[in-house]
Amino acid sequence: MAAPIATTTVTQPMTTDVLTLSQLLSPSFPVGAFAYSHGLETAINEGAIYDADCLQAWLLDLLNHGGANADAVLLNAAYGSDDPMIDATGRAFAASSERLMETDLQGAAFCDTVRVVWGHDLGQLCYPVAVGRVAATWGLDVELATAMYLQALIVNLTAAAMRLVPLGQIDGQKTQTALKPRCAELAAQLSGATLDDLHNSAWLSDIAAMRHEVQYSRIFRS
């Protein structure tokens, strides 16, 4: 009988970083993310997004050129510095009043919850800056925090599209799966980013967000 082949199993140790970030960026964390569509509601209402392929292309543009990319830069900038200009820039970079409301109110809710649950007072910061500041203060891995922040944003917008297009749950999961590698790539690319890396050229998304402000019938706040 042949001798058994020796095998070695290498496992990565479980860290509390993953568990903490999962909690902070969970849909159950009370920032009210479910109430915002980032202009997606108008894009769907006007026929720019009508199936899973359109949704995936729209979200990929947000990751590469739009608000998702800008949020990732702001998160990393806040991780590397406590300069108040970072938060001010994040607010100024919002392309519409509803985008400003979105980042302001979610950030305020995030800061309030962190203060009440953990006793850590962040002040009042816009959402990505608040996440970056917590990650830095608690020594959480910034690349992991960025990837999970982007994934949470994609999950939230996909859930909105599932209700509005409508899309089935399988299409929603396929969309999230297809975009997950890009979230990880961006997190690696933007590690250590500063305000000098901030940009936005996803104009259709910005225009949709502006038009949402005067849309006659709305479900979402942005």
Q: Write down the domain spans for the chain.
A: 39-212
CATH architecture, domain 39-212? Orthogonal Bundle (1.10)
Q: What is the mean pLDDT of residues 144-150?
A: 97
pLDDT bucket at 5, cuts 50 / 70 / 90: very low
pLDDT bucket at 4, cuts 50 / 70 / 90: very low
pLDDT of residue 44: 95
Q: Give which of 221, 144, 154 is closest to 190, Cα–Cα.
A: 144
Q: What is the mean pLDDT of residues 180-186?
A: 98
pLDDT of residue 7: 42
Q: How far is Cα 8 from Cα 3, in angstroms, rounded to an integer?
A: 16
Q: Where are the alpha helices (DSSP H) in 93-168?
A: 97-118, 127-137, 142-164
pLDDT bucket at 15, cuts 50 / 70 / 90: confident
Q: Give the relative orientation of helices 142-164 and 16-24 as an angle to the nearest 10 degrees.
A: 40
Q: What is the mean pLDDT of residues 17-34?
A: 95
Task: Encode pLDDT of 85-95 as tens digits.
Answer: 999 999 999 99
Q: What is the mean pLDDT of residues 10-39?
A: 87
- CA angle (152, 154, 160) in 5-degree steps: 105
- CA angle (209, 81, 200) in 5-degree steps: 25
Task: Encode pLDDT of 40-75 as tens digits.
Answer: 999 999 999 999 999 999 999 999 999 999 999 999
